Amino acid sequence: MRQDTATSAVILSILYILLGSRGPQMSLKGRVRKHRRTKQLVLQLKPGEVALIDHRDLDGPAAEALVDCRPAAVLNAQPSMTGDYPNRGPAVLAAAGIPLFDLPSRDLFEQIPAGRTVAVQDGRVLSEGKDLGSCTRMGEERVREVSAQAEAKTKQLLLDFAANTLEFIRTEPEIVLPSGPLPDPATPIRGRHVVIVARGPGSHGDLKTIRSYIVDVRPVLIGVDGGADILASEGLRPDIVIGDLDSAGDETLRCGAEIMVHAYADGRAPGRDRAGRLGLSCQVLSTPGTSEDAALTLAFEKGAELIVMVGSHTNLPDFLEKGRAGMASTFLTRLKVGDRLVDAKGVRMLYQGSVGFRHLAYVAGAALLAACGVLLVSPFVRGVLRVAGIQFVLAMRDLWRAAFG
């Protein structure tokens, strides 16, 4: 039996290698769900559907959000990796076993209607029998190849990032200086712990790691756009939602949380219109930088004792991955907040609680001792033990007499 199993495993492995070496030579199909903004698409995408995106240099957080939806495949109307900078998105999908295909033209995004069933077969995209063109599979080998090209450009990216950071300090010095007047949220912050959740790398796992802390300490919960949905998915209601409201679900926004719309330096506050359409009152929070920076600034300026960040950009690859100057503001904001800031990702890496056999043995032993204590103080149990003891003594006496007369 073991030999047959081993032989079957070898055969399956050989077939896998042979089929895998053919690159995009595979067949799959599904109903198309599409949106040009990936963070909007994931609010609608269902398991087993084919996600049609228009996302140049697919980043890690967007890919993780797609993985959570478990699509049959992802079709991208733009290059998923240009090699301009090391983006993690394609590697995230490959590790999750979700096929990613790059389409040859952005025109196909419009040509493939939402709701239509498409098939990817032998490197071609088919819809209702019509051949829409070729596609390129972004498998692990291709991802490694393009990543190597991008790594060669990291030095220049770092220099550009440093220049952008200095320029941001010159044009927006308040990013590191005390901020101007900020609106007062109805939820008290001063002297309390604050947990800020953004839709970023590992945000779901990081939030699970600190859940017991949230239950015990009851900190202020702030969701940054789609981070509010992550809180809701864990059964936690956000106290405040901050952002331009482009990736938070309607149900989450209606949960009773305070809405603070992030306004940019030029005065735009795109979330205000959506809040109005939903019939929700809101305050405008005008600070430089991203919505994540706005949440950090609010918690810091309103006197939070400790700020725990979930799903934030924490290291150089995170800052460089977006390939845009905007990440300089996040770096500077974190510098301003200083030692009041704790990253949940670090807590997760430092300690991941687990229950071993030893812990179970301790619990079982304690339960047994408690049960014995309860039984010993029971009059009924004491009577039973007394009768059993007498019977034991009489039995031993009879055995003695039988043996020795």
Give domain status of residue 302, yes or no.
Answer: yes
Same domain assignment for residues 81 and 125: yes
Same domain assignment for residues 336 and 237: yes
Same domain assignment for residues 222 and 93: no
- Quick one: pLDDT at residue 21? 40
In one-letter notation, the amino acid at residue 80 is: S
Question: Which tokens go with 24?
Answer: 């995009």
- Quick one: pLDDT at residue 359? 55
Q: 27-34 and 117-121: which strand pairing?
A: antiparallel
- Quick one: pLDDT at residue 253? 92
What is the model's pTM? 0.61
Same domain assignment for residues 195 and 52: no
- Quick one: pLDDT at residue 97? 92
Among 149, 169, 185, where does a domain finish?
A: 149
- Quick one: pLDDT at residue 15? 42
- Quick one: pLDDT at residue 380? 64
Question: What are the beta bridge partners of residue 119?
Answer: 29, 126
Domain tally, the chain: 2
State which residues form the domain around 69.
Answer: 18-149
- Quick one: pLDDT at residue 122? 80
Among 118, 149, 180, where does a domain finish?
A: 149
How many residues are there in the chain?
A: 405
Give domain status of residue 356, yes or no.
Answer: no
Give the pLDDT means over successive 10-residue stretches in the chain (405 positions): 45 43 58 89 91 90 89 93 84 92 89 88 83 86 84 72 73 69 92 91 83 91 92 93 88 92 81 90 87 90 92 64 60 80 70 53 67 64 70 75 70
Work out the burial of residue 206: count CB atoms within 10 Å of its CB; fewer than 13 is exposed, 13-18 middle, 19 or more buried: buried
Same domain assignment for residues 135 and 166: no
Dist. CA 318–CA 334, nearest whole Å: 14
- Quick one: pLDDT at residue 268? 80
Dist. CA 190–CA 367, nearest whole Å: 43
- Quick one: pLDDT at residue 55? 92
Dist. CA 334–CA 56, nearest whole Å: 27
CATH code for the domain in which residue 142 is found: 3.50.30.10
Give domain status of residue 403, yes or no.
Answer: no
Same domain assignment for residues 164 and 138: no
- Quick one: pLDDT at residue 13? 42
Segments in 302-378 forming alpha helices (H): 316-321, 327-337, 344-350, 357-376
Among 86, 119, 149, where does a domain finish?
A: 149
Among 69, 22, 20, 75, residue whose Cα is nearest residue 43: 69
- Quick one: pLDDT at residue 356? 53
Give domain status of residue 248, yes or no.
Answer: yes
